[in-house]
Amino acid sequence: MFKFLFGNKANAPEMKRETQRETVERAQGEINEILATLSPKPRITIYPGEGTFTIELPEQMPDEAKALPSPEAPKKG
């Protein structure tokens, strides 16, 4: 009776949930793809006891160098 308002829920596609292994493998692949293109290479520190890592990026990334320069500070005087 109310199908026109709420739609037919039986036809909704089911999404496959990503397993933890698939999530880690996908994220690792994405990070490796990005890091491979960077120059200079970032410094990576691994903390095995915590199961974490940090990535120290350079002060300015290559794509930021292509961005427009910041406006100059107003001159005093």
Residue 9 lies in a domain: no
Q: How far is CA 59 from the centre of its chain?
A: 18
Stated pTM of the model: 0.58
Stretch (H or E) spanning 6: helix 3-6
Residue 1 lies in a domain: no
The total of structural domains in the chain comes to 1
pLDDT digits 0-9 by tens, 18-62: 999 999 999 999 999 999 988 888 999 999 999 999 999 888 777
Cross-strand bridge partners of residue 47: 52
Looking at residue 68, its amino acid is L
Establish if 24 belongs to a structural domain. no
Residue type present at position 33:
E
Q: Cα(31)–Cα(76) distance, rounded to whole angstroms?
A: 45
In the three-class reduction of DSSP (H, G, I as helix; E, B as strand; rest coil), residue 52 is classed as strand
Cβ within 8 Å of residue 41, ≥6 positions away: 35
Print the domain residue range for 57. 41-66
Residue 48 forms part of a structural domain: yes
